[in-house]
Structure 1
């Protein structure tokens, strides 16, 4: 049976504040928990006015403290930005505070532009191929196996659920080699989805954490009582993607009626590609979109994401999505 989870970029909207965004994150996670979602993830981004999850471990603690049983974690931590020991300490602390509920999804992208990456790392001369070694080093701290000569405190003996994230074939190959669960970022980079999943499943090697491949994929959902309303609320995220891809990111803008129709053909085509793994519409339309995506990918879990300007509209979209998923489960 396919599970369903939620990715929240903790958007900061025009006219809003970071404090409001963080309060909304906790409220949305509680709502997702009551609706039966399996996990709630936030992602590490830096230097972006419209995203409030830069201090990812702090946000995870905030959300985990506001909920009771839903898994909470990162989708993901950009490991090149931090020493593995630091991440072991942070997530060892989270695991001690909320045992059995913490996920640690790891990525190798900077989560920023080169200028911000330099401010974070001070040195951009590191080899991108270091990422697999960093993951193995991090595993060693949690296992406390002595290979590093350092015992992470907190961290040693902690058991956050580790994932490899990716939007290319690299992450699929690494997750398969290490025997870890794999999450593909098809909600914004769908092109290599099918090939990455095939490679991951083909090359998977069982590990102490996982005996068989376990794959998750991102999927945008904008649900409302009418199709026109769903198209309307989806336009805020569409504006954010256009702004990001044209080098003008900022706060999340209010929705605009008929936004896509107002775009030049090149921008409309870009949106069609970037957001091809999406469902926009009523509960029934969303149910069909999710069902088609699951049939195509055969993923074990769908990571729903939906950046919507109005918080109440976002909660309502999530409720309709949960209804759609319940309908799919009954039909299975």
Structure 2
């Protein structure tokens, strides 16, 4: 996939990071500001990710937060990136997102992931006695499709709200499984290359090769996750990115925490294995000044043929994060 591609649409995935020295309330307030900011920049959608039992992420009650964000914005699409379907009964998801769709018609997306997205103890706390596995994912996706479609004569189980809302369903993944399922069902596909880029090109190609047109989608549509730390200079961007580097190292070593303050020369103080692990995690990241970010983002768009880039920008300083998104938007569109 080396052909030159049209400029992709831009969107944002927000993990609603809680910062060192900050509060959950402040993180939620910043999420609203960020959504309003990217809406003003012309972004297509703003998604929130479901995570549980993680002190540094405040988006666990994803549907509630989607409603809050949609109510504070005007036209940008707001959705999940994603709801971890093994944690929920499809009917509950259909009712929640059906309610959102009735409140904000034409603006709600339902992105679905097949991993629990948390540890075993938390998974049991979420599910109680429900026995659910990743292998049940295709069945649950199709059940959700039926619940969000028009109710059929004689249908016994009807999501109210939900039925007839036709909330767009997206499949999310970081491996080949969801790429194949999205292709088979004719659904749009988002690859989580913002944290697991290794199988990006293979998954996107497989999705396109196997895609079957459906009532939902006539041709393949791909979102690619793209970490971005943009600043006026490469040096400042590298400094700001040290917050992300610390966060990534914490994920890789099982020491998750709040989003840390930036540290000068952080990568220089790591051993080779740690540096390589962080670089692998962020292999498709665009970190730098406007020129470097433009080059990296265009390279990612061209090499994947992405219809849309979904930016992730974890910067400690809230104002500099908003600036990063603005620089990135200008870089892609100039």
Give me the TM-score of the superposition, normalised by structure 2. Answer: 0.96
TM alignment of 1:66-145, pairs within 5 A: 66-123=72-129, 125-145=131-151
1:195 to 196, 199, 202: 202
TM alignment of 1:1-332, pairs within 5 A: 1=6, 2-123=8-129, 125-146=131-152, 149-327=156-334
Cα distance in structure 1, aligned partners of 2:267 and 2:48: 27
Contact 1:35–1:322 (8 Å) recurs in 2: yes
Give the 4+ runs in structure 1 shifted more than 6 A.
Answer: none
Name stretches of at least 5 consecutive residues in structure 2 with no aligned partner.
1-5
- Give how far 1:125 is off: 4.2
Contact 1:168–1:192 (8 Å) recurs in 2: yes
**Count of residues paired in the alignment:** 327
Secondary structure of 2:323's aligned partner? helix
Contact 1:117–1:124 (8 Å) recurs in 2: no
Cα distance in structure 1, aligned partners of 2:85 and 2:123: 12
Give per-residue Cα distances to partners, 1:251-281, cap 9 Å, x unaligned: 1110111111111111101011110010111
Q: 1:3 to 1:52 in 2, by over 3 A?
A: same
Secondary structure of 2:198's aligned partner? coil
Name stretches of at least 5 consecutive residues in structure 1 with no aligned partner.
328-332
Cα distance in structure 2, aligned partners of 1:166 and 1:270: 20
Q: Which residue of 1 aligns with 2:3?
A: none
Contact 2:86–2:133 (8 Å) recurs in 1: no
Cα distance in structure 1, aligned partners of 2:292 and 2:216: 37
**Root mean square deviation, CA, Å:** 1.1
Cα distance in structure 2, aligned partners of 1:124 and 1:258: 47
Give me the TM-score of the superposition, normalised by structure 1. Answer: 0.96
Cα distance in structure 2, aligned partners of 1:124 and 1:279: 41
Contact 1:45–1:51 (8 Å) recurs in 2: yes
Contact 1:42–1:56 (8 Å) recurs in 2: yes
- Give how far 1:124 is off: 7.0
- Give how far 1:59 is off: 0.7
Contact 1:92–1:156 (8 Å) recurs in 2: yes
Secondary structure of 1:4's aligned partner? strand
Q: 1:174 to 1:148 in 2, by over 3 A?
A: farther
